[in-house]
Structure 1
């Protein structure tokens, strides 16, 4: 895993600026402390920071070229099927000078053109320059594990793995875009291709930018459409096939020339990874984060029991509330974009500890989105039945919900359950509050800028892929391509790379994702039992006591409690001051009314914390 930067002045034709490209790369040195490189070819320049994972020799230096010097690439990530691709390319007459996956990408492009992207199974953000064709391809992996940010100007395009490099280049200044802030406050993340900064875009998952002979196109290279053929398979057949797919994906994700470990929670998903790892050769190190036995939802003991069961070399990180309060502003600054989730603090500390012993760590993210592990997935299924009810019965239930309006979960249910428009319904499920409430927080001057803000306009294209999918699968299709990459995977990338640690996510391997999206919702959630088929697979590897444990997710409930206490104490002061930066686009009085309502019993803590995170980000970067 590494960091890439580039400048291509395809509009003006002026030479790329070498000094600026060096500064860009140096600003993300944490992503690649082992090596650096730069390549200048007139109006295009590429720079790079390397974290050595495969082929630690100088043969892995980037930017990398083919033997003819025609193709140049900078590549961040890992291609997990590179050995198979290399064997196929050798059979076609290509020779290789290294054992890296980077070199495989070059010759895959030479063999298959732009179709090389679909042949790769991995996580990546890359830029490939074809001197002969005068073509630049910038691409992001299917699920968006690796980020790509860019800015367009009258000269051309500047891009990087992180936003700070664009600011370092000077092509764009940190200026907040109110429409994107509206989306963040509604969803707690900013959906691609927008960021909260004017002039800064992020490439959406499974998308690419091609610039050839002065002409640019942005296109979707991953066009997988869910189908229902797997719904007709016997359950025991699905369990067997999914077990094999899991095992093969895990093996691919263990390929490395540096030590590999595992971030271990107390739950099923990471325990299943450890169980499969133990079937492979190696003594594995595991890392957990917790808060001590005083907290009911602490999971250090559960994680320790799992580690003991599988005899891993286990290490723990203990966080207290003082550490939480002290580190939160710094952690938020690493994110660059605001993400208001309780998991950012434990993720930061467990990655910090893991990096002391390993360079690569696996993480058990993905099954919740793939197989229906969240409360919102239960709500999606309930909503199907709810919309079949007679209008009189629905009106009666809505009256009950309205009496519970102080409860955030009931408010979200009221907004979403009865909505007959599919895309609107999904948007309301994601929303932490009603759109009108979010809009009321903006100043009069800024409201005009958010009127035309499409909450998730990328969905306009994606919804065409789910016309034949059942309700839960359709929602998860969007979830995997929006909230997972733009929230969970984004902060995992930023907070792990802050410590020069590569995180790998085996459960979102291409083969797993495409198989899971073909399963019917009845196999994902049976009688409202979440992650049904996933847990049936896990029973082949794990004892019942692990399968039946309460879901804790790095003890997020403990952190949520600290969030609430922080909202009521020192962090709240940051948005109580009239000179806070967010009031350049938000209405001070309306925000204070929201705070008072929360103190008087309305549950707005998620929205208030989002405002606090926003203020922290804008104070650092805006």
Structure 2
């Protein structure tokens, strides 16, 4: 896991710009605390920050191979879990390897198959290959969008990086945010390609962008396929079990300490149980970590999304699988520390507004990084297997919008309530969201003979796998890598995603509950309490001291002449501060966190806001 950056300019000599390439790379030093490297030739500069996971002494980057007609060089971030099989295949084809790293395998795979190497990879990856033989850059991103990858076209080439901050460090790229950028920031439709910054866009998941003297061209090498599912229920459950076992086995491969994120829900508990089984065969026990809040279990109050606290279920799993477990317990002072908030914003490059759910995640990852370098996460199981409550809410199912926006408990409307009324009108969220919904629906493939109800649930699942999950994957990668921790997401293995996506909704809910297939496939490694537990999302503190601290910080912001009030209504912020802390609901607290994120983001990034 690493950070990559680069600059291609066909009308300039990049060899004289090495310092800029190094500065771009340095912005992501926390993504790769173990090593740094650059490769510079006439029209290209590549930078790499390394987090050493496999072949610690020899896996340095950039890597390059010299050919009679020019160098072929790579900067690579991620993991190819099938690199050993590919290495054997390439060796049979005559390739020689000097390291045991997956990076070298991907480089030789490019030499053998060109950009089609992407279709042979199983894993999470973002990489760029400079092919000096043809003077072109090839940028590749994994199928689901697990690893971030951004670029900005210039007059004579392109600037790219794992994160926007690397691109913004190049003087060619303006620090501009326009109305379109803000629309998506608040709307949460995850428009493909969006990166907030006006002159930056994503390399979209499952795509390849080639840059040469003619410009940049993108092609898609993977989309979510649709086909008729012919396996019966028992065969389906068995196949999911086999896939999950193979995926966890592959993703435990590392030359550094590993662990599992354990929340006590079905997803993370299943991974913990499967990992424990695998490691037990090596004479090892699994290490697990969970986040919790001071006095949360004792004072827990059910809400619209969470029926029970996590802690009792976490203890049950730890006892059941024999894990070496640690709870990372946080208080309101830690969660509201402005320094932590600024770390999160710096990690994500955007004012996401998720408050304690982002801040606690960063602090959890910091604690884990003291002992481990790789962690397995249950992220994306809800999108793959159908776990969110709105999957089962008739109003959300049938709404002519994204289901997560139609469900009453998700606080989507509150995200825009504190905006300046004039700006709110200009952003016209209703039209924007409606347009994006139509665009997203148009991409859903059809299967002949599907009933209307099965077709509707295929649409719902597709929206989650191509839109919603990408927001969560970006959050997980950017927050974890800010601490130098590699988080792997087994539920994003494309083999599992393709197979489960095409199972009928009746299979996904065959026992009358959410995530029926996952529950049945992994119950052999779970305590009964988790088998019976209802879906509960990532935890959030219920301590009123959290709201009190936010109000105090916002009172200081009100007294300033900040550009945040070009976006946020000052009187709305005054009303937030005047509310009794005990009456600060989830929706209002969301607005407070979003306002503080915007304030710090503007202070840190000094963006040019083109919203007049």
2:320 is the counterpart of 1:309:
yes
Equivalent in the alignment of 1:112: 113
1:453-464 mapped onto 2 (5 Å cutoff): 454-455=432-433, 457=436, 460=439, 463-464=442-443
Equivalent in the alignment of 1:322: 333
Q: 1:480 aligns with which of 440, 448, 465?
A: 465
Please list the CA deviations of residues 427-486 of structure 1 after superposition, one character each: whole Å capped at 9, or x if unmatched: 85489678899499346478557689844759737733434472222222222222222x
**What CA RMSD, in Å, does the superposition of the two structures yield over aligned residues?**
3.1
Call closer, same or farther: CA 1:302–1:373 in 2, change over 3 Å. Answer: same
Contact 1:180-1:190 within 8 A present in 2 as well: no
SS, match of residue 102 in structure 1 = helix
TM-aligned CA deviation for residue 323 of structure 1: 1.1
Call closer, same or farther: CA 1:435–1:261 in 2, change over 3 Å. Answer: closer
Equivalent in the alignment of 1:63: 62
Please list the CA deviations of residues 227-249 of structure 1 after superposition, one character each: whole Å capped at 9, or x if unmatched: 2x22x432111110100000011
TM-aligned CA deviation for residue 560 of structure 1: 8.7
Contact 2:402-2:463 within 8 A present in 1 as well: no
Equivalent in the alignment of 2:146: 145
Contact 1:267-1:552 within 8 A present in 2 as well: yes
1:324-339 mapped onto 2 (5 Å cutoff): 324-326=335-337, 327-339=340-352
Equivalent in the alignment of 1:396: none
TM-aligned CA deviation for residue 369 of structure 1: 0.9
Equivalent in the alignment of 2:531: 547
Q: What is the alpha-carbon distance in structure 1 between the residues aligned to residue 517 and residue 545 of structure 2? A: 34
Equivalent in the alignment of 2:604: 620
Q: What is the alpha-carbon distance in structure 2 between the residues aligned to residue 269 and residue 116 of structure 1? A: 31
Q: What is the alpha-carbon distance in structure 2 between the residues aligned to residue 535 and residue 246 of structure 1? A: 12
Call closer, same or farther: CA 1:561–1:96 in 2, change over 3 Å. Answer: farther
Contact 1:578-1:588 within 8 A present in 2 as well: no
Q: What is the alpha-carbon distance in structure 2 between the residues aligned to residue 215 and residue 99 of structure 1? A: 35
Q: What is the alpha-carbon distance in structure 2 between the residues aligned to residue 553 and residue 428 of structure 1? A: 16
SS, match of residue 169 in structure 2 = helix
Equivalent in the alignment of 2:37: 37
TM-aligned CA deviation for residue 177 of structure 1: 2.1
TM-aligned CA deviation for residue 595 of structure 1: 8.5
SS, match of residue 130 in structure 2 = strand
Call closer, same or farther: CA 1:295–1:348 in 2, change over 3 Å. Answer: farther
Q: What is the alpha-carbon distance in structure 2 between the residues aligned to residue 193 and residue 150 of structure 1? A: 10
Call closer, same or farther: CA 1:353–1:481 in 2, change over 3 Å. Answer: same
Equivalent in the alignment of 1:4: 4
SS, match of residue 55 in structure 1 = coil
Query: Any gaps of 5 or more consecutive residues in structure 2?
Result: 301-307, 448-453, 607-612
Contact 1:265-1:303 within 8 A present in 2 as well: yes
Contact 2:388-2:535 within 8 A present in 1 as well: no
Call closer, same or farther: CA 1:57–1:521 in 2, change over 3 Å. Answer: same
Q: What is the alpha-carbon distance in structure 1 between the residues aligned to residue 271 and residue 415 of structure 2? A: 42
Please list the CA deviations of residues 554-585 of structure 1 after superposition, one character each: whole Å capped at 9, or x if unmatched: 433x3597765555x22443664573322224
SS, match of residue 95 in structure 1 = coil
Equivalent in the alignment of 2:19: 19
Contact 1:5-1:25 within 8 A present in 2 as well: yes
Equivalent in the alignment of 1:352: 366
Equivalent in the alignment of 1:524: 508
Contact 1:333-1:616 within 8 A present in 2 as well: no
Call closer, same or farther: CA 1:559–1:167 in 2, change over 3 Å. Answer: farther
Q: What is the alpha-carbon distance in structure 1 between the residues aligned to residue 464 and residue 578 of structure 2? A: 33
Q: 2:484 aligns with which of 477, 492, 500?
A: 500
Equivalent in the alignment of 1:209: 209
Call closer, same or farther: CA 1:527–1:582 in 2, change over 3 Å. Answer: farther
Per the normalisation by structure 2, the TM-score is 0.86
Call closer, same or farther: CA 1:4–1:462 in 2, change over 3 Å. Answer: farther
Please list the CA deviations of residues 362-403 of structure 1 after superposition, one character each: whole Å capped at 9, or x if unmatched: 111111111111122122xx14xxxxxxxxxxxxxxxxxxxx
Contact 1:4-1:126 within 8 A present in 2 as well: yes
TM-aligned CA deviation for residue 32 of structure 1: 0.8
Equivalent in the alignment of 2:100: 99
Contact 2:32-2:50 within 8 A present in 1 as well: yes
Q: What is the alpha-carbon distance in structure 2 between the residues aligned to residue 233 and residue 304 of structure 1? A: 36
Q: 1:512 aligns with which of 487, 493, 496?
A: 496
Equivalent in the alignment of 2:79: 78
TM-aligned CA deviation for residue 257 of structure 1: 1.2
Query: Any gaps of 5 or more consecutive residues in structure 1?
Result: 384-412
Per the normalisation by structure 1, the TM-score is 0.84
Equivalent in the alignment of 1:134: 135
Call closer, same or farther: CA 1:577–1:144 in 2, change over 3 Å. Answer: farther
Call closer, same or farther: CA 1:298–1:66 in 2, change over 3 Å. Answer: same
2:351 is the counterpart of 1:369:
no
SS, match of residue 8 in structure 1 = strand
Q: What is the alpha-carbon distance in structure 2 between the residues aligned to residue 193 and residue 66 of structure 1? A: 31
TM-aligned CA deviation for residue 586 of structure 1: 4.7
Q: What is the alpha-carbon distance in structure 2 between the residues aligned to residue 144 and residue 66 of structure 1? A: 28
TM-aligned CA deviation for residue 597 of structure 1: 10
SS, match of residue 40 in structure 1 = strand
TM-aligned CA deviation for residue 605 of structure 1: 4.4
2:299 is the counterpart of 1:295:
yes
Call closer, same or farther: CA 1:576–1:483 in 2, change over 3 Å. Answer: farther
1:530-541 mapped onto 2 (5 Å cutoff): 530-541=514-525
2:590 is the counterpart of 1:606:
yes
